[in-house]
Amino acid sequence: MKSKMYFILFVFASTMVLSSCKKAETNYCAACIEANSGYRPTDYCGPESEVDLYISTLKAEGAKLGQSWSCSKN
């Protein structure tokens, strides 16, 4: 019975490690610059959908303040 528990624990741990590696591979980063001031915030990294949301929010909110943001996603 103990060997089955260890085997199940091993399989679970292996799955977690492999899935976390896959998540790291799917991360993207947004590199942005504000055109008027030349300000470059730290790159924002995360899943693609979060990076897309960051870029669109930054551009929309910045436009309200007279800022012009240019971003690239890689």
Q: What is the pLDDT of residue 8?
A: 47
Helix (H) or strand (E) holding 60: helix 48-64
Residues making up the chain, counted from first to last:
74
Residue 46, Cβ density class (10 Å: 0-12 exposed, 13-18 middle, ≥19 buried): middle
Range of the domain at 60: 2-73
For every one of its 74 residues, what pLDDT tens digit does the chain have, with 9 covering 90 and above? 555 434 444 445 554 544 554 555 679 999 999 999 999 999 999 999 999 999 999 999 999 999 999 999 99
Q: Is 2 helix (H, G, I), strand (E, B) or coil?
A: helix
Token pair recorded at residue 44: 């924002």
Q: How many domains are there within the chain? A: 1
The reported pTM is 0.65
Q: What is the pLDDT of residue 7?
A: 45
